Each structure stands twice: as C-alpha cells, then as structure tokens.
Amino acid sequence: MKVKILSGDKSKFDEIRHMVAAGDRGVDVSGGVGKMTDMPAIVNGHAPDVLIVDVADGWHLDVLGEVTSRAPQMDTILITNDQSPQLLLQVMRMGVREVLPSPAAPEALQAALNRIREKRGHAKSAEGKILAFLSCKGGSGATFLAANLGYILASLNNKKVALIDLNLQFGDATLFVTENKPAGNLAQVAQEIHRLDASFLNAAMVNVLPNFSVLASPEDPAHAIDVKPQHVETILKLARKQFDFVIVDVGRSLDAVSLQALDMADKIFPVLQLTLPFIRDGKRLVNVMRSLDYPKSKINLIVNRFDKSGEITLDDLESVTGASVVKTIPNSYQAVAASVNQGVPIAKLARNNPVTKALQELALAVAPEAEQAPGGWFAKVLRFA
C-alpha cells in the first residue's frame, strides 16, 4: 500500500511517517512538509492509496475537494484539532475516510489504516520469520553460522535481514561480519523501550549491507540484567514487521529472556558437533524443548564441522536426540578462521568454500522462494563480494 503524508511541521511529518512504517514493513511511505495549498504538488498526478494530511494553516477545503475529486480511489485521513460536526460532515462529503484528533495517537492511526486496508482488500504484509540459533555446548560455532547465514540471506532477492545478539554477557556477533562499531546495543534499546519504533531500532543497529543490520549485545556484561523477557518480546514483534528474517543468536543459557525468543521463533537451530559431550548436551536441550511443547518441526539440528568418516553417524545422533538434522556444515578450519579473524563473511572472503556452499543451501532451505530470484542466486552473492 502506498501512503503519502502532507504535514506543516517537519517533526510531525517524521513522527507520522515512523508510525505508518512501524505498523507495516511493506508500506511505501513518502510525502513532504508544506501548506494545504501544496497538496496537489504532493499528490503530483500519482494518487497514493492513502493520503494523510496534518496541517495547521487553515484547511483550504476547496483544495482538498479538488484533490479528492480528481482521485476518488484515494482514501484520505485528516488529522486536526477541529472535531466539530460541521467540519466532519463537510470533509466526509468530499470523500475523506477518517478524521483523527491531533496529535494522532499511534494506535488510532494504525486502526484507521487497518480499516482502509480491509476496505481496499489489502492484506497486511506478512511478518518475517524468526530463526533462533543456540549452542548445545560452548564452541559449537552457532554465532558464526547465525551471522554468516544472515549475510547470505540478505543477498537473496529483496530480503531484509536482522541479526539480534541475545548472548547478553559475552556476545560478539557483530565481529563476525563487520568492523564497524554499533551505534547502540540491545541493553540500550531495552532501557528506552518506551521510545521503540522502527526508526529508533534502526538507529541502534549497525549496517553490514543496506538490507542486513545487527543489533549488538550489551557492551558491558553488567547491563545484561537490563534486558527483560518483555523487552525481547517487544523488540522481536517490531523486528519481524520490519525484516523478512530475524536471526537471533541466543547463546547457550536457558533463562526467561532466551526462552522468550525461543517461544517466538519459527525455527530453532541447535548447533552441535558429533562428539559425545555435544550429543549429551544436545539431548538435554531437545528434552527441554519437548517439555515446553515445541513441535518437532520447530527443532532443526545443525551439525557443524561435520566429518563423514567420523565414528559417530548422523543416524546415531538423530536416534539419541529424537530430533532431525536439517544441515551439516563441513570442517574448513583455515577459511573459517580467516573469516572470523578479519570480520569478513565467509561468502565474501571464500565464495567457493564448502562452508559457503553449505550456508547457501541452508539459506535456500529457509527461503525457498528466493531460488527463482531474477538474476540468479550466485549472481547476487557475487554482487556483494
């Protein structure tokens, strides 16, 4: 749905734009700051689905009537302190769909937009998928896989990806994909959760690619206590509206905060290796998830540093844990170490490495529609290299 905004005040324009975008990540928002008489120029012959008008320089109802008559298919929302019956009747006769009191409350504006969506038959854009990665045991490589999968998913056709580092005390997911210092972190967002909207969230993240952003873990481990389950819920709800994929690096601890993320995840990827300590902890982790009534299809084991000639087989692992192995990642120590040490995604550093190819296959498994992307999958990977 296309939405244009006309406001007489820059701060109000930004506020309305953020409210509209926060409610639907698929909406196309544009417009400008000006007077009521600027309305024809804002519409500019290309009528949007919705026009939102919030100006205080006099209504100039003749201009409004001219614009609405030329674009009868356009729905108009007026934001004004004048809630008199005379004004309401007059603008409704002109085809205005909604009149909201100023300043517009986010819930009132979203309710108005939802009514317009229903009238126009526009389904609200689908929410993004939440993919949770967690280590069955320390050193499994879960953070490396989560960060690098995020980079590869972002190279798919028009996919927006967020990586959220929920390893609250010693998270370092940003170091795997960028040298840039984050502007904010998860604890800082949690401390100001009352300000949270799409703009605030994006400002706190570090951009790896134009469509791949990372929300870092707290810089100081002491601030881990600032992040509560309700904060994680609020952040993930907003993030999945803004991104096609939200990858959460849960870390290894199981507490109220991490369980909130696991509850909301569409898929959970426990990462382990084919050694007895990993398998023992993997079985314990799967048992915990079963006790939480997670469906079997939600739990997808990833075997990292896989060696086909190993003593323990994938069948042994699945038999012991009762969970399915969705992907194996081969052992390629030199390339992975170089990627980690340089902070460069392995798909950019070593395009033809077996680990890169395995992660590409995993990306297509979680986003199968991207296989048909124009220009081809590998062409898009190379474009970012």
pLDDT given for residue 29 in this prediction: 85
Write down how long the chain is: 385
pLDDT given at position 145:
98
Q: Compute CA distances 323 → 133, 253, 328, 331, whole Å.
A: 15, 20, 14, 22
Closest Cα to residue 4, out of 54, 66, 70?
Answer: 54
- pLDDT at residue 373 greater than cutoff 50: no
Confidence at residue 218, expressed as pLDDT on a 0 to 100 scale: 94
Topology match between the domains 2-120 and 129-383? yes
CATH class of 2-120: alpha beta
Place 379 in a pLDDT band, splitting at 50, 70 and 90.
Answer: very low
Rounded Cα gap, residues 256 and 168, in angstroms: 12
Which amino acid appears at position 351 of this protein? R
3-state class (DSSP) for residue 378: helix
pLDDT of residue 284: 95
The percent of the chain in helix, strand and coil, each rounded to the nearest 5, is 50, 20, 35
User: What is the radius of gyration, based on Cα positions, of the chain?
Assistant: 24
Find out whether 36 and 57 touch, Cβ atoms under 8 Å.
yes
Please, are residues 235 and 194 in contact by the beta-carbon 8 Å criterion? no
**Over 70: is that where the pLDDT of 25 sits?**
no
Q: Note the pLDDT of residue 27.
A: 78
Cβ atoms of 350 and 339 closer than 8 Å: yes
Mean local confidence (pLDDT), 184-209: 93
pLDDT number for residue 56: 67
Under a CB-based contact definition with an 8 Å cutoff, are residues 329 and 302 in contact? yes
C-beta contacts of 364-369 below 8 A and 24+ residues apart? 365/326, 365/327, 366/129, 366/131, 366/153, 366/245, 366/267, 367/153, 367/156, 367/159, 367/244, 367/245
Q: What b/e readout covers 230-269, taking b as 16+ CB neighbours within 10 angstroms?
A: ebbebbbebbbbbbbbbbbbbbbebeebbbbbbbbbbbbb
Token pair for residue 61? 């109802």
* Interatomic CA distance for residues 274 and 292, integer angstroms: 25
- Cβ proximity of 189 and 226 under 8 Å: no
Model-wide pTM > 0.85: no
Confidence check: pLDDT of 257 > 90: yes
The predicted-structure confidence for 100-146, as pLDDT tens digits, reads as follows 888 888 888 888 888 888 777 654 456 899 999 999 998 999 999 99
- Residue 131 phi/psi, 5° resolution? -115, 120
Question: Which residues contact residue 322 at a Cβ distance below 8 angstroms, ignoring those fewer than 6 apart?
Answer: 286, 290
pLDDT at 233 over 60: yes
Domain 129-383 CATH (choose: 3.10.180.10, 3.40.50.300, 1.10.101.10, 3.40.50.2300): 3.40.50.300
The percentage of residues in the chain with a pLDDT greater than 70, rounded to a whole number, is 91
Q: Which residues contact 181 (CB under 8 A, 6 or more apart)?
A: 206
- CA distance linking residue 162 with residue 122, whole number of Å: 26
- Asked if residue 271 lies in contact with residue 154, where contact means CB atoms within 8 angstroms, the answer is no
Confidence of residue 96 (pLDDT cuts 50, 70, 90): confident
Q: Are 323 and 303 in contact (CB under 8 A)?
A: no
**Domain locations in the chain as residue ranges:** 2-120, 129-383
**How far is residue 252 CA from its own chain's centroid?**
22
Give pLDDT tens digits for 283-307: 999 999 998 989 999 999 999 999 9
